[in-house]
Structure 1
């Protein structure tokens, strides 16, 4: 997804995986795992993406960041949506991370090695690591964190078959797998694999996640689960001299128009929920700018395959053929997105976007396809969207018109974001607009979430089930990077393009609206932002 720039850009996503919008242009597409031997590692000062030319900007102060949804939990093992994920990653950090180019780099680990058979992963922690409370970080904390994740599972469960997690000494962690799992090192960069104190530092789980303690650049000072969060600078942060700001406030602004107005007025320093149509206005504004990156996100139209209409593959194919995806992309994204052919963004390896034969716009073919369905004369249905996002509202209208052209009457049902999430989590929808997002620079990150009917999300709440797709998914997880993996994922993605349990619409850039006095924002391809280097102009 995306993910440095001096001043660059984000699309509000409905989920993390998902998510959402889990996103996506900075990833280079290189293979990120599999090779054995120790990787070349950056120093502590090099590990983070540096901000550009911040010397004239003031250190200290409070940075206010407008966001469309409140932070409801800091439990890293039980969360997935972006409202929580992008707060959790400010407090907790993982052994490895990804940079703005989507490359895996060592983070809390100074180095790591992978055995030639792909079964043993050894991590050596950085010297002098401390939690925000000043206590030393040891390999035992990492063991506790990963074992808790294995026990809890959660929406971003560790999918690898882990045989053991042990502390060889205070600084050395060894993870042994029962069988090779190629995405493992990439998935360890997920926010859900952050390191927490062993035994929650003596607190109960409930107490700990109300007042979380981690290694991240910030600690929680005040938190309203229905409103704002105030973070304070972690004085024990391992990257010397960072963060530059004293406080970071996540301000809840549920409407994108209100967010833009508050940014223009200087009430916030930046906004996450930047609608694509507002990008040029802010880019050309006297006091505003746009921070951008490519993303690991795919904007999609999702079908509930348990629905009486959309369980029919001919209905899904008909609507895909009736929809002018290229026209929709040009009309709504203002050059900040690319039309999608494949489920995988072009910034993710094995995306096959240029080789997939998608169901392109053809109204007559769409009518012929609908004639093959159980509803040849059309039907009425509903399209669920979250309110407050003008781009999604316009997408819905274009889809509504496409359906009308072939006899499918679509009623648009717009509800507030929290209720929207509750509805699709409960499969209480026929079709919905949302985005899918990789949480790490790995094809499996999206594919597992959107194609495994037995997984946490049941194929992203579509309940799409295809035994051959499931078989290919598992084969891809065990196959080393190379031509064989290309063949597996190409076949899997073509099947998805043929059966369309979801219609990939476009790959949006990440767009962040910011005051022009701000420097050092680092936008990541998953839609999150690093604030370690941020400075605020006077």
Structure 2
């Protein structure tokens, strides 16, 4: 699965999910996750967690976070866009979660176990858990929440074939599956599996999601769906003494330049969307800095395989060979990204980025490949791009030039974001620039979203269909972590590299611009951030 980022840096996915698909990892149960731990952050950039450079941080105060899109809904089961997801996860929390390295950790659950046959999942809730209205959290609340998710489905539906969800007592929850589904524990960590009160605490669904009750560190105080959202601290939060700040304000700043200016002026404490090209400016600022983390995002060039030209695999392969992805990455990402060979970011297990045989830059080979197609003399096509993203605009120009070298004339069609979304949802494009992002620390998260022709996104709106890939997708879901699962994904990813329904371009880091006075902001690889440890130096 993946979810969408409505903003452009900007996603996307999380550079990054710049827009929509943020569409998302590392370290599922039994797997190890590097989560960029072996990659040195650019000079003067902090990795994952901010640390103060001024006075001793204080407790209290208001933290103002500049964001490019407003929060329009807090219904965790019906949302997928990052503008909403990264507010939902401040109110609702799941039984398990992922940390800044993308590793699964117990969260509302004190512990969990998985039966040897992979069918039974048992969770024990933490002692003293309360909702933000002061009522106790019980296993029945978890049953209600997960069953509601199963009923609603939604864009991040529970994919496992669930047999039963039962509360053994107030603290023990048991979930049984009809068949093994290895990604299940990882998928339970995403925001859509947060726990809410049984029966919506006695109010209607509509009323509940206007003023939701959860276990998260913050509670909604005021909310303008076309503007700002103000959270206040949850006084019943289970992590004693946290959050340290009194209020968290999501401030709408739609223009990147304004966001940077407000950060420099101290009008905001941090900005969510920091474009790669602006990172060094903030990193070198007197009172500002950049914190980074490896992301679950892959920036990509997508092909509509229903299109007359891009239904031809030789055309797709030719353009992949004509494109210098390494040069593109170096030119546009300022050291905050890694060239992609595989669909899966290097922060996700089984990514195969270093071993996969990708179609690397070779113009002569590209011309030869095009000669095998139904269009050996080239053709004219269009590349759809959402406006307002300078990095994407430059990507488009580089791709346009690459196409020209082999006789493919690419016209760049730059349109505003809402129309862009409508167009690709309707398959009304030949090629487009976008990014895919996993929503949980699991290879299946992004693979399923981009390879299942019958899934929610129809292979990320490319309608790419390969029966062998679909078979491998389902095998990977049922196979336990280990060598056998690795072999499945290696074969699947190699097929994608050979048939290129999308060309992976690069894996961008997550970047946040913050004031030097901020301590304790934790950046997650899905692009979200945790604020419960934040302190602001006086």
- TM-score (normalizing by structure 2): 0.91
What are the ranges of 5 or more consecutive residues in structure 1 without an aligned counterpart?
1-9, 34-48
| Alignment correspondent of 1:13 | 11
CA distance in 1, matches of 2:329, 2:28: 23
CA distance in 1, matches of 2:487, 2:184: 20
| CA contact 2:93–2:191 (8 Å) conserved in 1 | yes
Q: Quickly say closer, same or farther: Cα 1:246–1:423, change in 2 above 3 A.
A: farther
**Shift of residue 493, structure 1, vs aligned partner:** 0.1
| CA contact 1:290–1:511 (8 Å) conserved in 2 | yes
Q: Quickly say closer, same or farther: Cα 1:70–1:375, change in 2 above 3 A.
A: farther
**Shift of residue 29, structure 1, vs aligned partner:** 8.2
| CA contact 1:322–1:362 (8 Å) conserved in 2 | yes
**Shift of residue 423, structure 1, vs aligned partner:** 2.5
- Count of residue pairs brought into register by the alignment: 512
| Alignment correspondent of 2:215 | 215
CA distance in 2, matches of 1:517, 1:433: 37
SS at structure 2 position matched to 1:512: strand
Q: How does 1:497-516 map to 2 (within 5 A)?
A: 497-516=497-516
Render the CA deviation track for 1:109-157: whole Å, top value 9, x for unaligned. 0111111111111101111111111121111110011111111111111
Q: How does 1:62-461 map to 2 (within 5 A)?
A: 62-461=62-461
| CA contact 1:139–1:171 (8 Å) conserved in 2 | yes
Deviates more, 1:318-327 or 1:12-21: 12-21
SS at structure 2 position matched to 1:491: helix
| CA contact 1:23–1:298 (8 Å) conserved in 2 | no
Deviates more, 1:489-498 or 1:249-258: 249-258
CA distance in 2, matches of 1:339, 1:30: 27
CA distance in 2, matches of 1:522, 1:22: 20
| Alignment correspondent of 2:45 | none
CA distance in 1, matches of 2:422, 2:260: 27
**Shift of residue 173, structure 1, vs aligned partner:** 0.5
**Shift of residue 184, structure 1, vs aligned partner:** 0.8
CA distance in 2, matches of 1:265, 1:197: 41
| Alignment correspondent of 2:38 | none
Q: Quickly say closer, same or farther: Cα 1:362–1:96, change in 2 above 3 A.
A: same
CA distance in 2, matches of 1:318, 1:303: 13
CA distance in 2, matches of 1:329, 1:23: 21
| Alignment correspondent of 1:37 | none
| CA contact 1:23–1:508 (8 Å) conserved in 2 | no
**Shift of residue 371, structure 1, vs aligned partner:** 2.1
Render the CA deviation track for 1:389-409: whole Å, top value 9, x for unaligned. 221121111111111222222
Render the CA deviation track for 1:19-39: whole Å, top value 9, x for unaligned. 633366xx4688349xxxxxx
- TM-score (normalizing by structure 1): 0.91
| CA contact 1:58–1:536 (8 Å) conserved in 2 | yes
| CA contact 1:14–1:81 (8 Å) conserved in 2 | no
| CA contact 1:63–1:245 (8 Å) conserved in 2 | yes
Q: Quick check: 1:485 aligned with 2:476? A: no
SS at structure 1 position matched to 2:64: strand
Render the CA deviation track for 1:340-380: whole Å, top value 9, x for unaligned. 00000111111011111101111121122222222222222
| CA contact 1:519–1:534 (8 Å) conserved in 2 | yes
CA distance in 1, matches of 2:232, 2:273: 23
**Shift of residue 381, structure 1, vs aligned partner:** 2.1
CA distance in 1, matches of 2:531, 2:260: 20
What are the ranges of 5 or more consecutive residues in structure 2 without an aligned counterpart?
1-7, 33-47
CA distance in 2, matches of 1:28, 1:206: 36
SS at structure 2 position matched to 1:129: coil
Deviates more, 1:364-373 or 1:511-520: 364-373
CA distance in 1, matches of 2:312, 2:258: 41
| CA contact 1:51–1:533 (8 Å) conserved in 2 | no
**Shift of residue 227, structure 1, vs aligned partner:** 2.1
Q: How does 1:15-94 map to 2 (within 5 A)?
A: 15=13, 20-22=21-23, 27=26, 31-32=30-31, 52=51, 56-94=56-94
**Shift of residue 62, structure 1, vs aligned partner:** 1.5
SS at structure 2 position matched to 1:300: strand
CA distance in 2, matches of 1:330, 1:387: 22
Deviates more, 1:482-491 or 1:303-312: 303-312
